[in-house]
Structure 1
């Protein structure tokens, strides 16, 4: 398999630095997995995740004109497919809920007005 952007290839970790890991690829080439591309979670120390001699699958991110190859381990992993987003409620459902809310709200406001008016002696209440 040729080393082209987007391809996944197997390689061997040949060196580890504080900024990432060097990986030997097929055809005698090598590339760098930056520390931010080692794992999905925060990586403080590359040695916690990789050791020299590890076989890894990497995804080729870029191939520069000067031959430098940028790689990613985390993007080479198969991700579980996302669940389909939930269907949005139908407009009729929303309209019905809104209508019910407004009716309940009006009923509660009417009830509150009756209670406060009777306490204040409003609307013909005897004193």
Structure 2
């Protein structure tokens, strides 16, 4: 079986290192799933997600002179948490505005929200740095 980038393969985990897992995909071929390609979630310890002997499905993401790079997370269906990954937990989503609002109104609302966020951030930063009235020598 010849594998090409984008091919979905199933294989058996044959070895685990700190940086990833080696997977036997048949026909004497094996590939490496880098630790960053195991899950959409952060993986601190690869042993929490995989064990030798596990059967996994992965997508071929690279083939450099027989060194096959695999991705388990690309073979999985996109999850809801993956779609929300870019949302920062410090910001609340902006409420829906009536479509009749003009550009000036939208800009004014944005500037107010931006100033509120900035002042909140400054308050939190000052608290972490010791704030005002620190030790003087």
- TM interval, short-chain normalised: 0.5 to 0.7
Which residue number corresponds to residue 39 of structure 1? 39
TM-score (norm 1): 0.62
Which residue number corresponds to residue 114 of structure 2? none
Residue 44 of structure 1 deviates from its aligned partner by 1.2
Which residue number corresponds to residue 94 of structure 1? 101
Q: 3-state DSSP class of the match of 1:47?
A: helix
Structure 1: which 5+ residue stretches go unaligned? 83-87, 99-127
| Cα RMSD after superposing both structures | 2.7
Q: 3-state DSSP class of the match of 2:5?
A: coil
Task: Output aligned runs, 1:36-115, within 5 Å.
Answer: 36-65=36-65, 67-79=66-78, 90=99, 93-95=100-102, 98=105
Question: C-alpha separation between the residues in 1 aligned to 2:68 and 2:55?
Answer: 17
Bigger Rg over Cα: 1
Structure 1 runs of 4+ with >6 Å offset: none
1:37-64 per-residue CA deviation (whole Å, 9 max, x = no partner) reads 1111111111110001100000101000
Residue 78 of structure 1 deviates from its aligned partner by 1.4
Residue 80 of structure 1 deviates from its aligned partner by 5.2
Question: C-alpha separation between the residues in 2 aligned to 1:71 and 1:32?
Answer: 6
TM-score (norm 2): 0.58
Question: C-alpha separation between the residues in 2 aligned to 1:28 and 1:80?
Answer: 33
Aligned length: 92
1:9/1:94 Cα in 2 relative to 1: closer, same or farther (>3 Å)?
same
Question: C-alpha separation between the residues in 2 aligned to 1:70 and 1:63?
Answer: 6
Question: C-alpha separation between the residues in 1 aligned to 2:39 and 2:78?
Answer: 13
